[in-house]
Amino acid sequence: MIVHFAGLGSMGLGMACTLARAGHTVHGTDLSPGRVDELRAAGGHALTAASDHADALVCVVLNADQTRSVLFGDDGLARRLRPGGVILSCATVTPAFAIEMEAQAVKAGLLYLDAPISGGAAKAADGKLSIMASGTAAAFDAAQPLLDVMAETVHRLGERAGPGSAMKAVNQLLAGTHIAAMAEALAFAASQNLDLARTVEVISASAGTSWMFENRAPHVIEADYAPRSSIDIWPKDLGIVQGIAEDAGLLLPVATAALAQFRAASAAGLGKEDDAALTKHIAGQSGIALPEKK
């Protein structure tokens, strides 16, 4: 398939390169030219005005505003799709926004798959993502050759846009609160003069563990805060969760507390660091020492 790819960040680049290596013709664009160069090295191409019209458009940008602009803005890429082409929209957005984008796609004679992703950069590069998808049977059929390459698991959640984004919000609620709990736990362990490497070893074999604890805690031990997923992702994603909950009349006290911590860490200048740096923010407020870079 000819695929246009918008957004070559930590997840998008791995997805695009995986498709290129699998034999699809991938034309990608990103605000960072270096990311396009990496796609070229994997067998892809830069997306330019001379690029052929595509069978599919994969959009892995930051948020709803970027999604709307990339798809249907003045220079929107949806117009570069062939009639009946499929959009795979992967950003974390509200269900209402996904429904709106599907309606615009249908009006333009296109298919739309609400297809948020989970798994991290490593799984994106290995084609082992979990994709929470909803859309028409025709949209799934059109996207299937790409889903087969990019995902280890595709969860079919409904026959219209919306449920995919709702399920991603559930995932982000848990992921964000688990990172916040990890940060508090490590700061608490440090306050008790426990060896943090030993703490991770013990907790990883105990009932209190989580995937986020096991994945993020080593970043703190190694004092490696290079962003795989940054602090600033979470005010956005947990903010989406909070907004959906408010519309439903639902209180989320734990998620709300985690959101407040991420916002505070961002305001303290940690926004561009790895989200494990929330531990620095929590420990620093009480003068608790954490491992330093060797």
CA distance 83 to 254: 46
CA 18 → CA 25, 49, 79, 97, 145, distances in Å? 11, 23, 25, 28, 12
CA 191 → CA 86, 165, 222, 228, 244, distances in Å? 52, 39, 18, 27, 36
Q: How far is the first Cα of the chain from the last one, in angstroms, to the nearest whole number?
A: 47
CA distance 216 to 176: 12
Number of residues that this document lists for the chain: 294
What is the CA angle 56-59-176, rounded to 5? 140
Q: Considering 128, 168, 272, 280, which one is annotated as catalytic? A: 168
Q: Is 293 a catalytic residue?
A: no
Task: Supply the residues annotated as catalytic.
Answer: 168
